[in-house]
Amino acid sequence: DAGVIQSPRHEVTEMGQEVTLRCKPISGHNSLFWYRQTMMRGLELLIYFNNNVPIDDSGMPEDRFSAKMPNASFSTLKIQPSEPRDSAVYFCASSTGQGLDSPLHFGNGTRLTVT
Amino acid sequence: LAKTTQPISMDSYEGQEVNITCSHNNIATNDYITWYQQFPSQGPRFIIQGYKTKVTNEVASLFIPADRKSSTLSLPRVSLSDTAVYYCLVGGSGNTGKLIFGQGTTLQVKP
């Protein structure tokens, strides 16, 4: 079990640039979650997918953020254009269920710095 | 989702047992109680989950009283490597997946 794989591990970009974060969930998991973590706001749920379909994107900050899951083994979170306030650690997680009866398995995150 | 309340921080010494209590007064009938651990520069890691009474695994024990309005995570004989943030979450399979993490409890284990 390779766990949830996120790339890149670190990303430094300039304000206005497009940023794409990638996630490979654990094989066989049918739910995928994107979280953002900052010191001020803690862990925030941005969006989650079930069977590749976005179920709830109410946590996405604004239209600059978009997420896709073209197949069961890959998801992307895109920020366009990026802003300094987007600097955070972005985590992807997967699970076998939709609710809290199924443990979430997190990746090690992507640390994004927007200058 | 049921709101949870837990201490912001706790200190302990190596070898001691640590108990972290989480309050969840409005827990629903089908809600589970789940604890996660997060080390710096890593994603949260599932520790233990329970519904009622007591659950034990190789890492921790989870005690849940009959009214289920609180729960206690027990870490036996902590070591320096147990220094981390511990999150308590409450919710059930009927939720639409909104797993909300609170501020958690920062546990500092001292030598």
Q: What is the pLDDT of residues B14-69, one digit of tens each?
A: 999 999 999 999 888 888 899 999 998 899 999 999 999 999 999 999 999 999 99
Spell out a b/e string for B90-99, using b for 16 or more CB atoms within 10 Å of the CB, else e.
bbbeebebbb
Per-residue pLDDT tens over the stretch A37-68: 998 888 989 998 999 999 889 889 889 999 99
As a dihedral over the C-alpha atoms of residue B95, residue A33, residue B104, residue B50, rounded to 10 degrees, the angle is 50
What does the alpha-carbon distance between residue A103 and residue B7 come to, in Å, rounded to a whole number? 23
Q: CA B67, CA B57: separation in Å to the nearest integer? A: 22
Give the number of residues written for chain A. Answer: 115
Q: Best mutation site among B52, B99, B100, B101 for testing chain A: the one with the most A CBs within 10 Å?
A: B99
Question: Parallel, antiparallel, or unpaired: how do β-strands A110-114 and A10-13 relate?
Answer: parallel
**Residues of B48-68 as b/e, b for ≥16 C-beta within 10 angstroms?**
bbbeeeebeeeebbbbbeeeb
Task: Indicate yes or no: CB of B93 within 8 angstroms of CB of A99.
Answer: yes
Tokens of A39: 């010191």
B3–chain A Cβ distance below 8 A for any pair: no
The per-residue pLDDT for A24 is: 98
Please state, in angstroms and rounded to a whole number, the distance separating the CA atoms of residues B86 and B109: 13
Question: Is the minimum CB–CB distance between B81 and chain A shorter than 8 Å?
Answer: no
Beta bridge partners of B61: B56, B74
Closest CA of chain B from A12, distance in Å: 16
Q: How far B64 CA sits from the closest chain A CA (Å)?
A: 16
| Beta carbons of B34 and A103 less than 8 Å apart | yes
Please judge whether B97 and A104 are an interchain contact, meaning their C-beta atoms are less than 8 angstroms apart: no
Tell me: pLDDT of A33 over 80: yes
